Structure 1
Amino acid sequence: MLIGEVARRSGVSTRMLRHYDRLGLVRPTGRTVGGYREYSDADIRRIFHVESLRSLGMSLRQIGQALEDPAFAPSALVGGLIRRTEERLEREQELLERLRAVNASAPLGWQDVLRIVQLLQGLSSPSAARRQQTVLAPTEDVPVPTELLAGAVLAESDPNVAGALRWALARAGGDGVASVASGVYSQDVDIRRRAVLALAELPGDEATAVLADALGDSDTAVRRHAALALGTRGATAAVPTLVDMVVEGANDVEAAEVLGTLSSDPACADRIMSALVAELAAHAADSPVRIRLAQALAEMPATVARDVLRQLAHDDDRAVALIASALVGVLDGARTTDRSSTRSASPPS
C-alpha cells in the first residue's frame, strides 16, 4: 500500500509517516519501481501501535524503545506518565481558576486584568504577611471576586490571614454563602472548621441553614463553632451543644453568655434551665463542672435561676456553695437596685 493510501486509512499525515521513516520508527518494507514507499500489513499495524502509544503521552523516543525492546517493562514508564499528567492537570486547574477569577472581576480593560492577576499572586504568596497585606489593602479599584475569597478562606491555615479573609468575605457581599458552604461538607476536617468560622460571620437564612447542618458534624470543634454562631442568631437547636460546652469547659463562658441570650424567650429559658439542672445532677461529684454550671445559671433570667442557685449555696461541695452564694448575692443586689430605681422614678403621691 502506497503512502497516500496509508495516510487516508490511518489518519496519519504523509508528512508524519515520512518523519517516522526518518526516525526508523516505522519503515516501509518495500519500494515500488518508481521508488515510492510501499507499506505492508505489518507496517500498518506498527503505525497503529505508534499512534496508540502517542495517545498515552509517550514521546517518539519512548515509543521506539517500547516497540524494539522485548524486555521493556511498561510499569515504570506508565507510572511516570501518570505523575506528569497529574502535575499538568494541577497546573491547568490552577490556570482555570485564575481565569475564572479574572472573568468574575468583570475587567473593563487590560489594566484591570493585570491588577486582578497581581491580587491573585499576592493571595498565593508563600509569605503569610504578604497574603494578609493583600487582603487588607487590595489593589485599588479592583473588586475581589467572592469565589476567590471563599477559596482562599477554605485553604488558609494561618489564623491571622484567615481572619482577614473572613472579614473581606463578609464585606464583599454577593454569593459568599454559596461559595463557602461546600466546605462544610468536605472530607477534610480543617476545611470544615474554616467554612463554619466563615459562615458565622455571614448574615442570612442560607448561612443559618448550613450552620444547622454543621451541628451534626463528627468533629467537636465544628459543632461548637456552629452552635455559638447559631445561638447568637437565636437558633434554639444549638442549646444541647452549648450546654455540653459548659460541661466540658470548652469556650464555656462564651457558651453560657449565648445561653443567657437565648433565655430571653421564656419557653427556651425553661428548656435551658432543665438541661443545666440535669447536668448538675449528673455531675454531683465533679466540682469544676458544677462550678461552671453555676456560673452559667447566673446568665439566666434571675426569676428562673435564683432558686436553683440558692439551693447550690448549701451544696456539700464548699467551692460550689461559695460561688453559688456569691452569685445569689449579685442577683439579689441587682434586684434591690432595680427596685430602688423604680421607686425613685415614681412620682410623689
Structure 2
Amino acid sequence: MLIGEVARHSGVSTRMLRHYDALGLVRPTGRTAGGYREYSADDVRRIFHVESLRSLGLSLQQIGRALEDPAFTPSALVGDLIRWTEDRLAREQELLERLRAIDASAPGDWQDVLRTVELMRELDSTSAARRQQAVLARPEGESVPAELLAGAVLAESDPHVAGALRWALARSGGDGVAALAAGLRSEDAGIRRRAVLAIAEMPEAPGAVAVLGDALGDPDPTVRGHAALALGRQGVAAAVPTLVGMVVEGSHDVDAAEVLGTLSQDPERADRITTALAGELAAPTADSATRIRLIQALVELAGTSGPEILRRLAHDDDRVVALVASALLRVLEERSRTNRADEDS
C-alpha cells in the first residue's frame, strides 16, 4: 500500500507519515521499483498503535519507547499522564472562570476588561492587605462582577479580607447567591461556612432564603447556626429547632436567644418556642450550665409562659438553677411593673 493510500485509509497525513519514517517510528517495510514507500498490513497496524498512544497524550519519543522496549511498563507513565491532564484541566477551568467573570462584568471596552483582569490579579495576591485594598479601594460607582467576588469569598481564609469581600459582594447588586450556593455543596466545611456567612449578609437577595433553608440540614453545626440566625432574623419559623439547639449546645447561644425572642413576638411562635425550651429544660441529660442557658433564653421571650416556668424553676432541686431562675424572675417582674407604670402615666 503506497503512502497516499495509507493516508486516505488511516487519516494520517502523508507529511506525518514521512515524519514517522524519519524518526524510525513507523518505517515502511518495502519500496516500489520507483523508490516509493510501500506499507505492509503490519506497518498500517503500527500506525494505528502510534495514533492510539498519541491520543492519550504521549510524546512521539514515549511512543517509540513503548513500542520498542519489551520491559516498558505503562502504569507509571499513565499515572504521570493523569496528573498532567488534571493540572491542564485545572488551568483551563481557572481560565474559563476568569473569562466568565470578565463576560459577567459586561465590559464596554478593553479598558473595562483590563480593570477586571487587574482586580483578579490583586485578589490572587499573597498579601492579605493587598487583597483587602483591591476591594475597599475601588472607585465609587465602578462595578465589580458578583461572580468574581463570590469566588474570592469562597477561597478567602483571612477573616479581615473575607469581611471586606462579603461587604463588597452584598453591595455589588449582582447575583452572587448562585455562585455562593455552589460553595454550600462543597465537601470542604470551611468553604461552606464562608458561603453561608456571605449569603447571611444579603438575606433579601433573590433565592437567599431558599438556599439558607437548605443549609439548615448541613452536617456542620457552624453552617447550620449561621443559616438559622439569618433566617430567624427574617422571621422564618423553620429556624427555631436549630436556634434552640444552639442554646442547648452553647454555640452562639446569646445570639440565638435574642433571635428566638424576636420570633416570639408572634403568639403562635412564642408557644412553639416556649414548649421547645421547656422540653430541653426537662431533659434528663441537661446539666446545670445547659439549663441556665435555657432559662436565660426564656427571659427573652414574649408572652406569659416564660415567667410561669421560672416560678417553678425557682424551687428546683438544683440550687444554682433555682437561684438563677429566682433572680431572672425578679427582673421580669420589675420590668412588668415598670411597663404598667408607663402605660398608666
Same fold (TM over 0.5): yes
The CA distance in 1 between the partners of 2:280 and 2:326, in whole Å, is 19
Partner of 1:153 in structure 2? 153
Partner of 2:262: 261
Structure 2 CA distance, aligned partners of 1:57 and 1:135? 41
1:129 corresponds to which residue? 129
In the alignment, what sits opposite 2:329? Answer: 328
Mapped contact 1:211–1:226 kept (Cα < 8 A): yes
Structure 1 gaps, min length 5: 345-349
In the alignment, the residues of structure 2 paired with residue 119 and residue 316 of structure 1 have an alpha-carbon distance, to the nearest angstrom, of 63
Q: Distance in 1 between matches of 2:305 and 2:116?
A: 57
User: What SS class does the counterpart of residue 125 from structure 1 fall into?
Assistant: coil
Asked whether the 8 Å contact 1:116–1:139 carries over to 2, the reply is: no
The answer to whether the Cα contact below 8 Å between 2:216 and 2:224 also exists between their aligned partners in 1 is yes
**Which residue number corresponds to residue 144 of structure 1?**
144
Q: Is the 8 A contact 2:270 2:303 kept in 1?
A: no
> Do the aligned residues in 2 keep the contact of 1:239 with 1:272 (CA within 8 Å)?
yes
Work out the CA distance in 2 between the residues paired with 1:318 and 1:340. Answer: 33
Cross-structure match for 2:220: 219
**Alignment pair present for 1:41 and 2:41:** yes
Deviation track 1:268-309 (CA, whole Å, cap 9, x = no partner) reads: 111111112222222587221221111111101263322222
- Measure the CA separation in 1 of the matches of 2:34 and 2:169: 75
Query: Secondary structure of the equivalent of 1:16?
Result: helix
SS in 1 for 2:130: helix
Which residue of structure 2 aligns with residue 77 of structure 1?
Answer: 77
Give the equivalent residue in structure 2 for 1:241.
242
* Structure 2 portions without partners, runs of 5+: none
* Letter of the 2:13 counterpart: S
Please tell me whether the aligned partners of residues 288 and 318 of structure 2 are also in contact (alpha carbons under 8 angstroms).
yes
CA distance in 1, matches of 2:90, 2:139: 27
Counterparts of residues 177-256 of structure 1 (less than 5 Å): 177-204=177-204, 206-256=207-257
**Amino acid aligned to 1:167:** W
Moved more, 179-188 or 258-267: 179-188
113-122 or 199-208, which deviates more: 199-208
Find the residue that maps to 1:172 and give its secondary structure.
coil
Question: Which residue of the partner structure matches residue 66 of structure 2?
Answer: 66
Describe the superposition over 1:62-105 as per-residue Cα deviations: whole angstroms up to 9, x where unpaired. Answer: 11111111221111111111111111111111111111111111
1:89 corresponding residue in structure 2: 89
Q: 1:41, 1:343 → 2: CA distance? A: 109
Note if contact 2:267-2:303 (Cα within 8 Å) is conserved in structure 1. Answer: no
Aligned to 1:23: 23
Distance 2:116 2:146 in 1: 13
Residue number in structure 1 paired with 2:299: 298
**Partner in structure 2 of residue 340 of structure 1:** 341
CA displacement 1:143-170 (0-9 Å, x = unmatched)? 2211112222222222222222221211
Aligned AA (2:76):
A
**3-state SS, counterpart of residue 218 of structure 2:** coil
Alignment correspondent of 1:347:
none
C-alpha change, 1:64 and 1:136, in structure 2 (3 Å) is same
Deviations 1:26-69 (A, max 9, x none): 11222222222222222222222111111111111111111111
Aligned to 2:280: 279
Assess if the C-alpha contact under 8 Å between 1:20 and 1:26 holds in 2: yes
Residues of 1 paired with 2:97 and 2:142: CA distance?
Answer: 17
* Partner in structure 2 of residue 112 of structure 1: 112
SS of alignment partner, residue 304 of structure 2 = helix
AA aligned to 1:191 is I
CA contact (8 A) 2:243 2:256 kept: yes
CA distance in 1, matches of 2:141, 2:336: 55
Runs of 4+ in 1 over 6 A off after TM superposition: none
**What RMSD in Å do the two structures reach over aligned CA positions?**
1.9
Shift of 1:203: 2.7
CA distance, structure 2, for counterparts of residue 128 and residue 161 of structure 1 = 7
